[in-house]
């Protein structure tokens, strides 16, 4: 019987508005294949230290998706965002050093531009890192191809998942704007949208 660990996918990514649709596309693809997305934003207990939350999610997840798109600052005097590389390092260390079932961990590294990461983290040179050019459909294809290669061996095409994601977007608008009264889909928390995704998939089965 497949346990929780084997189905959990830790997502380490930016949470800014510019990345929001890419995140939703990644989450949707994970759910499409029957896996469970795990994000640090899924719990909001102020008494829980963020690093302890991250450690728990990494330990509970066989899969890790790490997007390094924000390692480059976008403006003058803006610092690099180091949380994503830091959490990737924790996940990599868990895979290589913890032993047991954690040695089965699978890691996907995403970036905005191909090879850009080498200027910031040269230790990753030679790693198979996928770029998405800040486009949702490319992120979906990257995650789909990774799942098929590493775990599933076959699956629906990236274009089919992209089309299905757009069907969900129309459904989501009706649910949260027309029915729930939100002014915009962008006003809805990601954790709430994930709940809508799960309900939508349950209705499809």
Backbone angles phi, psi at 142, to 5 degrees: -60, -45
d(CA 174, CA 63): 32
Tell me yes or no: is domain 4-154 CATH 3.40.50.10140: yes
Token readout for 184 is: 């915009």
Please report, for residues 34, 48, 49, 150, the alpha-carbon distance to residue 62 in angstroms, rounded to integers and kept in the order given: 14, 23, 22, 12
Kindly report the average pLDDT of the chain as a whole number: 87
Question: Are 31 and 198 in contact, with CB atoms under 8 Å apart?
Answer: yes
Q: What are the extents of the domains in the chain?
A: 4-154
pLDDT tens for 131-190 read: 899 999 999 999 999 999 999 999 999 999 999 999 999 999 999 988 888 999 999 999
d(CA 131, CA 163): 20
- What pTM did the predictor assign? 0.89
Q: How confident is the model at residue 73 (pLDDT cuts 50, 70, 90)?
A: low
pLDDT tens for 45-65 read: 665 688 899 999 999 999 999
Which DSSP category does 179 fall into?
Answer: I
């Amino acid at each position: 019987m497949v346990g929780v660990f084997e189905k959990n996918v830790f997502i380490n990514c930016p949470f800014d508005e510019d990345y929001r649709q890419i995140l939703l596309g990644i989450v949707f693809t994970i759910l499409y294949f029957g896996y469970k997305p795990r994000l640090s934003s899924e719990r909001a207990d102020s008494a829980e230290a963020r690093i302890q939350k991250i450690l728990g999610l990494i330990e509970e997840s066989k899969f890790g998706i790490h997007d390094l798109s924000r390692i480059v600052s976008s403006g003058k005097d803006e610092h690099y965002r180091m949380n994503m590389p830091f959490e990737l390092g924790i996940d990599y260390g868990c895979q290589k050093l913890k032993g047991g079932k954690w040695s089965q961990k699978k890691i996907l590294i995403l970036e905005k531009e191909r090879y850009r990461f080498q200027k910031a983290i040269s230790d990753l040179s030679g790693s198979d890192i996928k770029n998405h050019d800040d486009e949702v459909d490319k992120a979906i294809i990257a995650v789909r191809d990774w799942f098929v290669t590493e775990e599933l061996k076959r699956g629906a095409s990236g274009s089919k998942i992209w089309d299905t994601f757009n069907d969900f977007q129309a459904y989501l608008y009706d649910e949260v704007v027309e029915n729930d009264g939100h002014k915009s889909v962008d006003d809805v928390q990601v954790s709430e949208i994930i709940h809508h995704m799960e309900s939508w998939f349950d209705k499809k089965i």
